[in-house]
Structures are given as structure tokens and as C-alpha cells.
């Protein structure tokens, strides 16, 4: 297991990125890959993703794709990945809709009616668990489940959820990501839609998706992973989900998280490894060491100086970022580093 951070649970605080002498695709049996911002963006493959995943798969690593987007079915996701040049079967895709459907099925009778506020992915997942999706609060549902419904979801769907919740039925949400990447930029995600219903009803949903345990459980049940590596671009879902599941993680900088946010990460958001893109799965990870006055990685030394993060030396930009992580996270301890990283990151081109 990685060094993780939750003092209240007796786990140690991660103060620097981890090191690996072996390539990560050889050190772990299964990659649990996020999709948006990791494998593709705006529907198109991210640079180096196709070739990196092909190499990892050819060398024996099991690739599983784990997404909080409950709109698309596993079949649809698998077809999309295959079209991008990443051969994928539906069984290799795990969605928050599946995690939510399992959570619902454990609390309602078999064959029960469930009001769906979302898309086809939720409907398919509920049927897989033997439940009947319905569209109206007047269909006598025993639960409400809400997932991302896409940009064309009608406002009236939220009203149906509110009517049913007001009658006392339990409310479930696939995930609470406030935003979702799109080809044109960042759009409102299911979390924004959940807030609409929360404000209107005063209720709280049971949430299944990353970073919460139901999603991790669903993933492990479906993949059988024994040495999983979570690969993601978001600190608050992918990396925190790995933390909650007590497994190692790789943050790639091809999505929503930038270098400054990484340096300011609180303990549960600190990844085991950090790399530029999915090529990082195919390499080892250089060690960050304590040196006089700071932390060294490659040709760089990072330290706290004059009330800000400082960087001396030269070398690969990623090594400099790893050294800065050690300086920032050590300074922050179990809190958040508030030191200005601007000058140091500018040296690295960030």
C-alpha cells in the first residue's frame, strides 16, 4: 500500500511522491483508469494514451475504465474506446451508475420501481440489478436515483425527483462531480444537478461514485484486482477515491488538475505518483530525497525560502515538480500549503 494520509484513522501523512524502481505497469496488476481528462478529452484520445495503453495491455496489465459519468452504458463506452484504437469490452468498463444501482438494490425489494433522473446508463444498470426504472413520481417508485443526464435534460425531471423525495422515498446519486469536461470547456456536472434537488427538498442523497467506497467496491468486485493502481486527473475524485480505498494512485496532468493545485493538495488528495500523461504508466518513478535545506529529485532541489516555494538546479520539469511537492507537502503537514509557488513553477514552464 502507499503511504496515505488520514491522521484520525492512524494512517501516516504523505509528504512526498513515491518512488518505483519498476515500471508501474509491471508493479501493479490492474490499472483503474478514469476516462475524461486521462484517456480522452472532448471525445478524442489524449496524446500518447492509445500507444501507452496498448503497451501496458500487451505486457499483461489488466486495464479497467472507471467513470463517474452515469449517462453512457458500458457498451457505449467500450465502443467509443475501441473506435479510438483502444480495444475494450463492456466488462472492462465500470460506471457510477452500476455502483449506484447496486447500492439501491441492497436497500429495496427485488423488482422494485425506481424513479430515474438521468440517462440510459442508469436504466441499464438498474435492470442489471433486477429493478424497474420509471419516469414519474406518480409511478409509485420506492427510490429515486439521479445521475448525469446530459445537456438536454429537461428541468421537469428535477421536479419529479422532488415530488418523490417529498413523499419519503430514499434518494441516491451516482456522483456529485460539480463539473464535467466537454469539447467546448467545463460544463455543469451531476453534482450541480444534485444541488438543485438538495436545495428544493432539504434532503441528502446517498452517493455511490468516486471518491466514496461504493464505487471502489464495485470496481474491485468487477475487476478482481489484487494490486490496483488508480490513474486519474482529478484530486477530489480519482486521488481521494484511491485514498479512501487504500490503494496507490497516479495523477496525470492532462485533465483538470494543474501543478499549483497539486502543490496545495490536502493529505487525502496527494497522489502516490505524478506524471505528465499515460506514458508514466510505462516507467519507473524517480525518488525524491531529503537534502540539506530541502528535497532533491533529478537535478532539482526544492525548498521553502523567503515565505515561498523555491527551486534551484535544472533537469526534467517533472522531477522539479516532484521535488516541489515534497517541499510543499512537508511544509503543510496534514493541512494545505499556502506558500506562493509562482516563481518556482515558472521555472518549470507551468
pLDDT tens, residue by residue, 73-124: 999 999 999 999 999 999 999 999 999 999 999 999 999 999 999 999 999 9
Mean per-residue pLDDT, 140-153: 96
Report the C-alpha gap between 291 and 29 in whole angstroms: 34
Q: Is the pLDDT of residue 2 over 50?
A: no
In 3D, which of 302, 328, 327, 325 has the Cα closest to residue 313?
302
Buried residues in 37-51 as b, exposed as e (16+ CB within 10 A): bbbbbeeebbebbbe
Q: What is the pLDDT of residue 147?
A: 98
Among 34, 92, 236, 238, the active-site one is 34
Q: How many angstroms from the chain centroid is the CA of residue 195?
A: 20
Task: Look at residue 33 in the predicted model and tell me its pLDDT.
Answer: 98
Q: Which residues contact 337 (CB under 8 A, 6 or more apart)?
A: 263, 264, 309, 328, 329, 331
Element at 228 (helix H, strand E): strand 228-232
Under a CB-based contact definition with an 8 Å cutoff, are residues 52 and 251 in contact? no
pLDDT digits (tens, 9 = 90+) for 228-239: 999 999 999 999
Indicate which residue of 36, 92, 248, 275 is catalytic: 36
Q: For position 185, what pLDDT does the model report?
A: 81
Residue 242: its pLDDT value, please?
A: 97
Q: Read off the pLDDT of residues 31-42 as tens digits, 9 standing for 90 and up.
A: 999 999 999 988
Work out the pLDDT band at 200, boundaries 50, 70, 90: very high
Q: Please tell me what DSSP assigns to residue 303.
A: E
The pTM assigned to this predicted structure is 0.92
Distance of CA 177 to the CA centre of its chain: 10
8 Å CB contact between 267 and 256: no
What pLDDT is attached to residue 201?
98
Q: Where are the beta strands (DSSP E) in 37-152?
A: 40-41, 44-45, 62-67, 93-95, 113-117, 132-134, 143-146
Q: Residue 1: its pLDDT value, please?
A: 31
Is residue 6 flagged as an active site residue?
no
Asked if residue 6 has pLDDT above 80, the reply is no
Tell me how far apart the alpha carbons of residues 130 and 53 are, in angstroms, rounded to a whole number.
34
> Tell me, what's the pLDDT at 260?
98
Nearest to 96 by CA among 237, 194, 191, 209: 209
On the question of pLDDT at 268 being above 50, the answer is yes
Helix axes 213-223, 96-105, angle to 10 degrees: 100
Looking at residue 287, the DSSP 8-state letter turns out to be P
Note the pLDDT of residue 42: 82
Three-class SS state of 45: strand
Please tell me the distance from the alpha carbon of residue 29 to that of residue 18, in angstroms, as a whole number. 18
Report the pLDDT value the prediction gives residue 235, as an integer from 0 to 100. 96
Collapsing DSSP to helix, strand or coil, 66 comes out as strand
What pLDDT, on a 0 to 100 scale, did the predictor assign at position 128? 97
Distance CA 323, CA 299 (A): 10
Which grid cell is 227? 494490486
With cut-offs at 50, 70 and 90, classify the pLDDT of residue 183: confident
How far apart CA 86 and CA 81 sit, in angstroms, is 5
pLDDT score for 4: 34
The pLDDT mean for the chain works out to 95
- State yes or no: cis peptide before 211, omega within 30 of 0: yes
139 is a catalytic site residue: no
End-to-end CA distance of the chain: 30
Amino acid at each position: 500500500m502507499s503511504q496515505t494520509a488520514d491522521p484520525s484513522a492512524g494512517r501516516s501523512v504523505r509528504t512526498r511522491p513515491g518512488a518505483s524502481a519498476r515500471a508501474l505497469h509491471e508493479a501493479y496488476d490492474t490499472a483503474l483508469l478514469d476516462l475524461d481528462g486521462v484517456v480522452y478529452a472532448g471525445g478524442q484520445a489524449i496524446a500518447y494514451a492509445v500507444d501507452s495503453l496498448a503497451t501496458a495491455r500487451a505486457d499483461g496489465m489488466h486495464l479497467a475504465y472507471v467513470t463517474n459519468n452515469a449517462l453512457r452504458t458500458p457498451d457505449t463506452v467500450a465502443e467509443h474506446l475501441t473506435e479510438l484504437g483502444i480495444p475494450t469490452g463492456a466488462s472492462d468498463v465500470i460506471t457510477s451508475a452500476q455502483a449506484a444501482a447496486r447500492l439501491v438494490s441492497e436497500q429495496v425489494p427485488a423488482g422494485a420501481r425506481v424513479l430515474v433522473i438521468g440517462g440510459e446508463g442508469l436504466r441499464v444498470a438498474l435492470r442489471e440489478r433486477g429493478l424497474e426504472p420509471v419516469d414519474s413520481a406518480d409511478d409509485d417508485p420506492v427510490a429515486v436515483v439521479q445521475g448525469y443526464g446530459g445537456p438536454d435534460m429537461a428541468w421537469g425531471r428535477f421536479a419529479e425527483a422532488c415530488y418523490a423525495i417529498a413523499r419519503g422515498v430514499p434518494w441516491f446519486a451516482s456522483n456529485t462531480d460539480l463539473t464535467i469536461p466537454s469539447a467546448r470547456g467545463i460544463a455543469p456536472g451531476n453534482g450541480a444537478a444534485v444541488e438543485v434537488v438538495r436545495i428544493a427538498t432539504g434532503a441528502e442523497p446517498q452517493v455511490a461514485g468516486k471518491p466514496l467506497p461504493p464505487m471502489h467496491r464495485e470496481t474491485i468486485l468487477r475487476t478482481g484486482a489484487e494490486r490496483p493502481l488508480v490513474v486519474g486527473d482529478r484530486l477530489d475524485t480519482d486521488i481521494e477515491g484511491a485514498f479512501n480505498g487504500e490503494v496507490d494512485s497516479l495523477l496525470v496532468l492532462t485533465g483538470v488538475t494543474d501543478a499549483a493545485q497539486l502543490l496545495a493538495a490536502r493529505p487525502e488528495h496527494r497522489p502516490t505518483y505524478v506524471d505528465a500523461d499515460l506514458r508514466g504508466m510505462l516507467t519507473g518513478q524517480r525518488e525524491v530525497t531529503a537534502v540539506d535545506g530541502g528535497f532533491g529529485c533529478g537535478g532539482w532541489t526544492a525548498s521553502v525560502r523567503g515565505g515561498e516555494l523555491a527551486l534551484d538546479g535544472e533537469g526534467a520539469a517533472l522531477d522539479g515538480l516532484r521535488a516541489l511537492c515534497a517541499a510543499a507537502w512537508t511544509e503543510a503537514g496534514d493541512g494545505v500549503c499556502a506558500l506562493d509557488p509562482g516563481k518556482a513553477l515558472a521555472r518549470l514552464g507551468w
